[in-house]
Structure 1
Amino acid sequence: MNRSTVVLVHGAFADATSTWNTIAGVLIQRGHPVVAVANPLRGLHHDAEYLRAVLATIPGPITLVGHSYGGAVITEAATGVDQVSALVYIAAFAPDEGESAGQLDEKFGGRAQQISQARPLPGPAPLHGPPHIELSIVAAHYRDAFAPDTDPETAAVLAATQRPLALAAMLEPAGPPAWKTLPSYFAISTRDQMIPTDGQRNMAERMDAITIDLDAGHASPLSHPHPIADLISTASAA
């Protein structure tokens, strides 16, 4: 039997390296094939199509993992992809059909709207749709809101190297969710300010996910890599 390939999808205001390096190392040591995807962060449907193209190149079973906004991307991208066998959400959005990450952010009281700054995107603005801008976290708020478990020097580097998110990614409504047909797992951060804990529990409960609680802020892959790797290994073996 083929060993499940773990595909890791980062979220907004981060990148694949900063989010997944330690977890990828643990999983590789355990014998898991690992692919850490560079999420484009340009729009939910665009990002999901990009991820689907990556998944099409991977044979055998896939355990698909998403952190933060990456959860919305895996939710849409895995629908109808037969080789995906399980979904793992890490302090993530898990929208139902018709929901957007922005709607969930507002519903659950996340801080993204209060601590982000906008800048225009190059090129002509679309005739229809959201404003042609991208968002990043104001550096002074990065540590307290996004990565409170890191030291100030690490947080400063993360803030300086964060990848912005196009506003379209927050506003586009999701399609049919893969969690309605696939086994799902959820690592809930109990001190999260970006996607508050009650919101994570709400999403985990409606998908009937197997959950673990982490005493962590939003950037739990940095502060709790080993229990997250354990949850991914559990999902891969199910």
Structure 2
Amino acid sequence: MTPTREPLSRDRVLRAALALADAGGTDALTMRRLGQELGVEAMSLYRHVANKDAVLAGIVDLVIGEITLPSTADGWKEAMRSRGATAHQVLMRHPWAPALLMSRTNTGPAMLRYIDFTLGALREAGFSWQLTDYAWNTMDSYIYGFTLRKLSFPIAEADYAEVASAHLHMLAGGQFPYMAEMTRLVGAGNHPGEPDLAFGLDLILDGLERLRG
């Protein structure tokens, strides 16, 4: 008996597109390649998605849908801290996503839910509308930027100490004393050298707390 092929649907198209983007980035995601992955002609895809731009919008929303929205029972700061950490983890699983999030208008249902939760948590905590808007955008700018830096930085975290030691000779002679001191600390294993998401996020949250007061 010939196995029954799973019918094509928008969700199936987007899930396949997400897998392609994760494997090779959005440049590897073409309608032709997507059709091949699904075992159909590319023209068949257009019954479910308008074009590649619609596919990109759809898979960005799938990624945002993976971000768990935390409870606000322990306060707005803990909720925003958890939200930021989870968003970073999700975006690290999908390295192509941060650039798209910052370069396009994303209005899918998961994104709208994500934004509405954030606005609601801040408003219920007593922030004005203006400060809520500033807070939301500042937090997300930091999270997306931090994630992009981590994804694109040319040195792996495990290699920091080795790379620092290898470059220490360039800082001999006292011309760059503070850089030399930091490099020695990293090379000796006394400082990780890798930025910590929580450090910067807590600075933002503490600053927002003062403004809220």
Q: Answer yes or no: same fold by TM over 0.5.
A: no
Higher RCO (C-alpha under 8 Å, 6+ residues apart)? 1
Which has a greater percent of strand?
A: 1
